Amino acid sequence: MSITLVEAVMWGLAASMGVTTSYALKWTVQHFRVRGSLMIPFVVFLLVMMLSMVVSAVVYLYSPSINMLIGLVVANMLVMGAGALPFVFVMFRALLADHEPGQGGDGDPSAPPPAGAGFPHRDALVEGTVIGLALLNEFFMGWAFELASSGPLSLGNGTPVAVFSSVVGSYWFLFTMSLEMALTTYFVRKELGRTFLYLVGMQSLVMFLSPTAVADPVWVDVSVFGMSVVMIVLFVFAFEHLARNGMTEKAVAGYLLKLVGAYALMMAGLFVWKLTASETLFALSVVLEMGVYLNLVLGGKRDASLWRWQSDPWWVLGLLSALFVGEFFMGALLDAQVYGTRAFIASMGLVPVAGAGLSALWAAAYDGMVFFGVVSLSPWFLAMMGAEMGALVVFRVREVRELETKVRLCLVIVAYSVYAVFLPDFLIPGSLLPKVPFVGWSMGVGTAGAVAPATIVALAGTYLVSGALSFLFGSRQVCSMFCTAALMYQGTFYDSMKTFNRTSRVGRKMLTSRLSGAYKATFSLVWVSLIGAALVSYLDSVGALRLTVFGADPAYLLYLFYFGVLWYVIFVTIPFVGTYACVNMGWCHWGTFNQLVGRLGFFRLKVRDPGVCVTCETKDCAKACPVGLTDLPGSFMATGEFKSLKCIGVGDCVSACPYENEYFFDVRHWLRLRRGKKTPRAVDLPLVRANQGASAGEP
C-alpha cells in the first residue's frame, strides 16, 4: 500500500470520527434538558468507546506487536462492556417507567419523569463531560495519526509538553477540529441563531487557517494573511453588532469576551512560534478556543436576557484589552512574516538585559517600551488596524446626514491609507522621510528620527503647513482627518462609547470647553519634555553633546512613548477616561499645537437661528459630541456660534441637531461673505417650533 493510499484511509477515518463527534454534539444539544432522555448516556458511551479505540491506537503504535494488539482488543472489549452496563441499566429503568400509568416517558419530555428514571445529571457535569471527551478524542486521534504518518520523531523530544504541542499544532488535529466545528454549527444552527452562526462559522475558518498545520512556506504565508483577514471580518461583524444593539444578550457578550480572549492568546502564541518555533502557547490557545466553542454549543445561550453592554465599563475594558492584545500580536506576526523575524526584531534596536538590580530593570523597561512602540507603529499593524477600523467608519458614513461629514469620513479613510501608511511606510524610503515635510514629520518632533541641521527645514515646513491648514479649516484637519485617531475613534462601535464621557469618573471631569488644572499641567509637562528632547537631539546631532538612551535618540523615544505606547493605553481605557482623551487630557503635543492655531483661525460652529436652540428641549448636539463639549447649547444661545480649543470639528453635533440648525464655518464661508454671498439660509422658525410641539405631544 502506498503512502498516498494510507493517508487517504487515515483522512477518511479522521473525517468519519469528526462527523460522528459532530452528531454526538448535535444529539447532546437536542436532548440536553429533555428529562428521561436516553440520548445523553448514549452520547457519553459513544465518546468513551471512540476514546478507547484511539488511545489503543496510540499505545499500539508506540509498541507494535501481536501480543500488544491482542491485549488492546481485550481491553477495548472490557471497556465496551463496562460502558454498556450503565447504559443498559438506565434504558431498562426508563422502559419500565414508560409502562407506569400517569408517568411521562421519553416521548413526552414535558411530563415529569418517574422517580429514579433517566440519566441523573447536572448541566455543568454533562457539559464538562461531553466537552472533555470530545477534546480528548480529537487529541488522541491526532496523536495516533501523527504517529502513523510521521513516526515518533515528529513529536519533538517526546516530553508531554512536546507531544501536546506537536499534536494540537498538526493538521490532523486542526483540520479535523475545523471540520467538526463547521458540521456541528450546521447541525445546531437553529439553536444558535443568526448572530452566533456567523461568528462560529468564521471561528471554524480561523481554526482551519492555522499556520502550524502544514510545514510549508507557501501555506504559512497564505494562512497567516488568511487568518488575519478572517479575524478582522469577525471583529468587524461583532463590533458592528454591538454598535447596532445597545441592548444585547448576555450570552453574546460572554461569548465575545471569551472568544476575543482566546484569540489574543492565539496570536501571542503564533508570534512566539514565529520567534522560537515553540507551538506550546498556540496549542493552549487552540484548546481554549475549542472550549469556548463547545461551551457555546452545549449551553452558552442559557442566559438570553438583554443587557446594556455600555453599562459595564469593566466588561468593555476586558473586551478592548483582549482585542488590542490580539491585534498587537497579529500585527507583529504580519510584520515578522513579511520582513523576516530576525530582520524585524533587529530593526528595533533592543539591548541585552544584563547586569543586576536597576541596570537590568532599566534595560528591560527600555526593551519593553521599544518593542511595544515599534510594533504598534509598524506598517502591517497599522494596515491591519486600518482595515478593521476603516470598515467601521464605512458603516458610519451611512449614518451621518450632512454631505460634508460624509466626505470628511471618506477622506479619513483615504488619509489613513495614503498619508499614515502607504507614503511613509511603502513609497518613500526611510532615509528620505526626515527630509519630507508634513509626511515625514506627521506627528511633529520625533516622528522621523533625530532633530538635525539637515531636517530643520522639513520639520519647520511641517509645522508651517499643518499650522496653516489648522488656521484656515480648524484643528479638524489633524484630529479629525490626518491623525490615525480619527479613523480609530469615529467608527460605529468606538463612536458608540462616547457615552463614557458622561458616565466615567475621569470623563465627567473633562466635560465642557474648560481647561482643567490637570490639562494645563499635562500640556506644560509634554511641551517641556518635547522642547528638551528636541534640544538634546539637535546637540547630539551636531556633536556638542552625547546624551542618548542606550544609543537611541531622545526625541524619537519620546515620540515612541507618546504615540506608540501612551496613546493605546488611553484608547483601551475608554470606559474610564472617555473617547478622544488625547484631546481632553492635553498630552498630544501635535494636537495641542494645531488646536491652539485653530483657535486663532476661522473655524467655528454656527447656528442659523439661536432661537431654535433656546426652545430645543433635547440638546442633542451636546450629547453627540465625542469630545464631551456639553457647553455647546449655551454658547449657541448666547452668541450664535461656538469656538473652543478642544473642538476638533468631528461634526457629530451638526448631524445630531434635529432641526438642521447647526453648520460648520471656516475660511470657505468667510470668503463667501467677503464676495457678498449669503450665509446658509436661516431655518423656518415657526415650522421648527411646530415640530417641537408635535414631538412633545401638544395638540
Q: CA 653 to CA 469: how far, in whole Å?
A: 22
From 120, 155, 190, give the residue that closes a domain.
155
Q: pLDDT per residue over 150-173, tens digit each?
A: 777 667 667 888 889 999 998 889
Ranked by mean pLDDT, the top range of 18-27, 237-246, 564-573 is 564-573
Give the separation between CA 639 and CA 607, rounded to whole angstroms: 9
Identify whether 240 is part of a domain: no
- Bridge partners (DSSP) of residue 552 are 549
Number of domains in the chain: 2
| pLDDT at 328 > cutoff 70 | yes
Domain's final residue, options 123, 138, 155: 155
Binned at pLDDT 50, 70 and 90, residue 130 comes out as confident
Q: Which of 293, 331, 14, 329 is nearest to 179 (CA)?
A: 14
- Structural domain contains residue 432: no
CA gyration radius for the chain?
A: 31
Reduce the DSSP state of residue 600 to 3 states and report it: helix
Task: Establish if 405 belongs to a structural domain.
Answer: no
pLDDT over threshold 50, residue 115: no
pLDDT at position 87, please?
Answer: 61
pLDDT reading at 307 higher than 50:
yes
CA dist., res. 176 & res. 481, Å (int): 46
Please calculate the CA angle 159-162-167 and round it to the nearest 5 degrees: 125
pLDDT tens figures, 429-456: 988 999 999 999 999 999 998 999 999 9
Helices assigned H by DSSP within 99-216 = 123-150, 160-168, 171-187, 189-192, 194-208
Q: Which of 190-199, 252-261, 283-292, 414-423 has the lowest mean pLDDT?
A: 190-199
DSSP codes, 463-503? HHHHHHHHHHH-THHIIIIISHHHHHHSSHHHHGGGGHHHH
Mean pLDDT within 405-421: 94
Q: Is residue 288 part of a domain?
A: no
> What is the pLDDT, as a whole number, of residue 220?
93
Query: How many other C-beta atoms are found inside a 10 Å radius of the C-beta of residue 323?
Result: 21
pLDDT at 1 over 90: no
Q: What is the pLDDT of residue 380?
A: 93
- pLDDT at residue 11, rounded to an integer: 80
- Name the one residue in this structure whose C-alpha cell is 437536542: 30
Residue among 254, 259, 325, 250 at smallest CA distance from 290: 259
The letter for the amino acid at 171 is: Y
Contact 143, 165 (CB under 8 A): no
Least Cα distance to 477 among 389, 400, 415 occurs for 415
Which helix (H) or strand (E) segment holds residue 604: the answer is strand 604-607
Domain that holds residue 28: 1-155
Q: Which amino acid is at 474?
A: G
From the list 566, 567, 564, 570, the residue with the least C-alpha distance to 552 is 564
241 found inside a domain: no
Cell 453627540 sits at which residue? 624
Region 499-503: mean pLDDT is: 91
pLDDT score of 30: 78
Q: For residue 93, what pLDDT is reported?
A: 56
d(CA 376, CA 334): 12
Strand partners, 308: 247
pLDDT 10s digits, 53-69? 888 888 888 888 888 87
**CA pair distance 67, 13, nearest whole angstrom:** 24
In a domain? residue 443 = yes
Task: Give the predicted TM-score (pTM) of the model.
Answer: 0.87
HSE at residue 226, side-chain half, CA atoms within 13 A, is: 16
End of a domain among 101, 135, 155? 155
In a domain, 200, yes or no: no
558 phi, psi to nearest 5 deg: -65, -45
**Do residues 445 and 406 touch, judged by C-beta distance below 8 A?**
no
pLDDT exceeds cutoff 50 at 655: yes
Asked, for residue 490, whether it belongs to a domain, the answer is: yes
| Cβ contact 327:585 at 8 Å | no
At residue 684, does pLDDT exceed 80?
A: no
pLDDT in the model for residue 325: 96
Note the pLDDT of residue 86.
61
Q: How many other CB atoms are found less than 10 A from the CB of residue 15?
A: 15
Determine the Cα–Cα distance for residues 565 and 568; give it in Å rounded to an integer.
6
Q: In sequence order, what are the residues at sequence separation of 6 or more whose Cβ sits closer than 8 angstroms to the Cβ of residue 549?
A: 366, 557
CB within 8 Å of 135: residues ≥ 6 apart: 287, 290, 291, 294
